[in-house]
Amino acid sequence: MPKAYDVMAPTCPSRVVLHRICARWKVFVVTALADGPMRFSALKAHIVGITPKVLTDTLRALEFDGLVIRTDLGGQPSRVEYSLTDLGRSLLVPLAAVRGWAEEHAPEVEAANAQAAAPEGLR
């Protein structure tokens, strides 16, 4: 019988996986690689606001988790590109659903934030 996983259990490995894939920049990198391999500089330009160090750390973590593969294309200087593995590609559908929800409901969340931040008498 397969092992039962419960993300709500504090010691469940699925909790670690969920935490790792939902880390701030990982979602953006996986989404950016949806259309195919990209070089580091292209990823950095595509994901506005990410620093080179954070992008490097994120790519290494995604590679460690088996979601991204790093391919050395050779040359001098060395050329490297990153692409999603089959496991990484399997994340695209659920991430697209979350992205769609975020884009659709952003105005409502912004309105709730504005209301919560308003002075007590103006709520």
Per-residue pLDDT reduced to its tens digit, 79-123: 999 999 999 999 999 999 999 999 999 999 999 999 999 887 676
pTM given for the model: 0.84
Rounded-to-integer distance, Cα 14 and Cα 24, Å: 18
Fold of the 13-90 domain: Arc Repressor Mutant, subunit A (1.10.10)
Rounded-to-integer distance, Cα 31 and Cα 29, Å: 5
Supply the pLDDT for residue 120: 79
User: Is the separation of the CB atoms in 79 and 118 below 8 Å?
Assistant: no
The mean pLDDT of the chain is: 92
Of 14-23, 26-35, 60-69, give the lowest mean pLDDT range. Answer: 14-23
